[in-house]
């Protein structure tokens, strides 16, 4: 609970069997979380068993895709404030206090993983990847005239029930580029937001989305194409 507002946490999972239980415990131990929704998106065998050892609620999304799983979690969450993060050990539960603090003034609070002082040893955020994330974020910031952005690929974020209501029926992206779409929709539909630095740590296990630099570059180009196409479509619609 945060200032009499119910707080939900959404964890999408695919390849986090070895970290999800610890992530749930870590985020709950920070306080404030009233509800944890774990979305099993065709996750590794044994994931459900790990989740069931906790107090988290478990739901399944059979349609494969990061965007599908996030949207499922947002629909299932009942909180006034909804936090989304990945349960892979890269995010710190203590950072939810930062998100909640800014939720008093903004409908959406975005994390950024590009603050050098908060990137831990072993985290998959080298200089090239950090600059790539920063460049794509700046492109979105300029084209959509948004608040300051340095990382549109960070999953850790908070959105209010009010803010979600303005964009939930407009989601189109079902895959790995969902995060920037959420930011663009917020910008186009009057959802106020701010970006804040969060800790970024070494992942437990292997990422299926950016498991190597080649995949990360492909994802980056996918985000660039999405941003340009969204901007052009919005201009055409007037």
Task: Give the model's pLDDT for residue 212.
Answer: 76
237 falls in which pLDDT band (50, 70, 90)? confident
Maximum C-alpha span of the chain? 51
Instruction: Please classify residue 218 by burial: count the beta carbons closer than 10 Å to its beta carbon, then call 0-12 exposed, 13-18 middle and 19+ buried.
Output: middle
- Strands (DSSP E) contained in 41-192 are 57-60, 81-84, 108-112, 157-160
The residue length of the chain stands at 238
- 213-237 vs 178-188: helix axis angle to the nearest 10? 20
Which tokens is 198 given? Answer: 């969060």
pLDDT at 238 over 90: no
Q: What is the mean pLDDT of the chain?
A: 96
Ordered by where they begin, the domains of the chain are 7-237 (3.90.550.10)
pLDDT at 77 over 60: yes
How many whole angstroms separate alpha carbon 86 and alpha carbon 69?
Answer: 11
pLDDT tens-digit map of 9-61? 999 999 999 999 999 999 999 999 999 999 999 999 999 999 999 999 999 99
Task: Give the model's pLDDT for residue 207.
Answer: 67
C-alpha distances (whole Å) from 26 to each of 59, 99, 112 are 20, 16, 20
Cβ contacts of 76 within 8 Å, gap of 6 or more: 10, 37, 39, 57, 59
Output the CA torsion sign for 193, 91, 177, 11.
negative
Task: Give the model's pLDDT for residue 133.
Answer: 96
């Amino acid at each position: 609970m945060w200032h009499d507002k119910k707080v939900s946490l959404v964890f999408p999972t695919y390849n986090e069997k070895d970290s999800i239980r610890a992530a749930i415990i870590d985020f709950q131990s920070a306080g404030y979380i009233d509800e944890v929704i774990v979305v099993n998106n065709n996750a590794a065998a044994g994931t459900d068993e790990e989740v069931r050892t906790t107090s988290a609620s478990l739901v399944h999304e059979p349609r494969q895709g990061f965007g599908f799983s996030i949207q499922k979690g947002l629909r299932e969450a009942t909180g006034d404030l909804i936090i989304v993060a990945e349960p892979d050990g890269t995010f710190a539960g203590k950072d939810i206090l930062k998100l909640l603090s800014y939720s008093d003034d903004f409908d959406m609070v975005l994390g950024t993983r590009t603050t050098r002082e908060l990137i831990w040893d072993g985290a998959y955020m080298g200089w090239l990847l950090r600059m790539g994330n920063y460049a794509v974020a700046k492109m979105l910031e300029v084209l959509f005239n948004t608040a300051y952005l340095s990382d549109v690929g960070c999953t850790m974020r908070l959105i209010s029930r009010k803010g979600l209501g303005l964009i939930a029926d407009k989601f189109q992206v079902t895959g790995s580029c969902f995060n920037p779409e959420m930011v663009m929709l917020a910008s186009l539909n009057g959802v106020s937001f701010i970006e804040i630095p969060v800790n970024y740590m070494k992942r437990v296990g292997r990422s299926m989305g950016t498991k190597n630099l080649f995949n990360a570059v492909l994802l980056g180009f996918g985000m660039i194409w999405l941003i340009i196409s969204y901007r052009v479509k919005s201009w055409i619609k007037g």
